[in-house]
Amino acid sequence: MKIIIAGAGKVGFTIAQRLCREGHDITLVDVLREPLEAASSAMDVMGFCGSCASPATLREAEVETADVYIAATGNDEANLVSCQFARKMGAKHTIARLRNQEYLDSSDSLREIMDLSLTINPDYVTAEEISRVLQLPTATQVDSFPDCELEIVTFRVPEGSRLNGVQLSRLPQLFSQKVLICAASHEGKVFIPDGSFVISAGDSISVTAHPQTLRKFFISAGAYQKPVKNIIILGGSRIAVYLTQLLKSTGVNVTIIENSKERCEKLAELLKTADVVFGDGTDTTVLSQCGLKDADGFVALTNLDEENIILSLYAHKSGVEKVVAKINNDKFIDLLHDVFPDTTLSPKNLVAQRIEGYVRGLAHADDSSTIEALYYLGSQNITATEFVVGARAECVGKTLMELRLKPGVLICAVVRGGKSFLPDGQTSLAPGDKAIVVSEGRSILKLDDILA
């Protein structure tokens, strides 16, 4: 597919990287030449220097031949205007990155009026993800799918857990809860385990089940942590605002530390139920005065990765049970993967992942299947993809026991008639079902790709 991305900053660059790996023809547009040159040297992309809100620039980039136009600049209005131009000039699909809360609140009508295929708010997407892991602090990552009641929860097996030393084939005998282990990270290797795999303390495990079942499973496994009730957020960004609003209805006490007095006044006006503190969050005295020793949740959302990492480690050492750090530098994320005991999140990666799933769905939709959502389970090598089963899928009408699946492929959940369940060998797929497929690598682009 031919894809044009407006904005070659952190978000646009990351989207381009992922879509290049998918084999798409990528063109980048930016007002600055330097990021275009950096992108061109790092991957096989075309670059055009100019304003995306200019029809002349879009015409030069041949937007009329684009299958997908993605506006990912830091200016909401420029993104909307350029999407409208792109659509009028012939682009088949348009995607806009929007950060303003007013646009978030009216996203459905905005998509209809502006003829947008998709809108995505990086700050809200990040806040949603943080909210999910705070509700289940055992998890380092929680993935939920459209219309699916089941979740895929990734967590690190603690010392002393009943899971330590358990072979997967014996899991049903030892635990009464029906769960499915769909991915594992052991000694730096990430893979889909079989029944012979033995769980060890320190392993990162992805498990699928209903949320209530997962909580019971974690309790019986000795790995359960109660949802947070007192949380400190460092940095009064948009993410902090969205996160506080999401947590408000769950009875969580939120304290936000912000070093800009003007921003504090704005936050106090927006968030009546939160305590807003004007101070330097890198000062341990300020953290102590804000009740760090009594907090069971700490979220670092400053614009500096280094600050977020150091203060998150300090909070963890101070006894805070659940710590979340926003980190944008992929090198830091890779370095911390095996040493940081809690959750790291990258807004640019969350956005790029959503767009990658949407584009993959457009590129490979046919009568056999369409893609609803795509997630990575703790690694760029393990994907969880939600497919809608089409009438012409080869797997329709056959039990999973009868199907010959490729190595490194697992169907971990099925949604049928609004009900979600874990499949077994006697389960067969029917048209209209949704099947969540966990797979190694990037070869599963259509549902029929699961077959050997």
Domain limits, the chain: 2-120, 126-221, 230-345, 356-450
CATH superfamily of the domain spanning 2-120:
NAD(P)-binding Rossmann-like Domain (3.40.50.720)
β-pairing, 230-234 vs 253-258, is parallel
Query: Which pLDDT score, from 0 to 100, does residue 59 have?
Result: 95
Q: Computed from CA positions of residues 142, 145, 151, 157, in that sequence, does the dihedral angle turn out positive or negative?
A: negative
Query: Which pLDDT score, from 0 to 100, does residue 255 have?
Result: 97
CB 358 within 8 A of CB 137: no
Q: Taking the domain 356-450, which CATH number applies?
A: 3.30.70.1450
pLDDT digits (tens, 9 = 90+) for 201-222: 989 999 999 999 999 999 998 8
Residue from 399, 390, 451, 387 nearest 424 by CA: 399
Query: Which pLDDT score, from 0 to 100, does residue 37 have?
Result: 94
CB 100 within 8 A of CB 123: no
CB 224 within 8 A of CB 138: yes
> In CATH terms, are 2-120 and 356-450 the same topology?
no
Q: How far is CA 7 from CA 114, 118, 304, 372, in A?
A: 20, 17, 21, 26
Residue with tokens 């049903």: 172
Q: How confident is the model at residue 338 (pLDDT cuts 50, 70, 90)?
A: low
CB 155 within 8 A of CB 223: yes
What are the φ and ψ backbone dihedral angles of 57, each rounded to 5 degrees?
A: -65, -45
CATH 3.30.70.1450 fits 126-221, yes or no: yes
**Is the pLDDT reported for residue 416 higher than 90?**
yes
pLDDT digits (tens, 9 = 90+) for 255-282: 999 999 999 999 999 998 899 999 999 9
Q: Taking the domain 230-345, which CATH number applies?
A: 3.40.50.720
Query: Which pLDDT score, from 0 to 100, does residue 337 have?
Result: 66
Query: Which pLDDT score, from 0 to 100, does residue 202 have?
Result: 87
CB 412 within 8 A of CB 420: no
Q: How confident is the model at residue 377 (pLDDT cuts 50, 70, 90)?
A: confident
Query: Which pLDDT score, from 0 to 100, does residue 339 have?
Result: 66
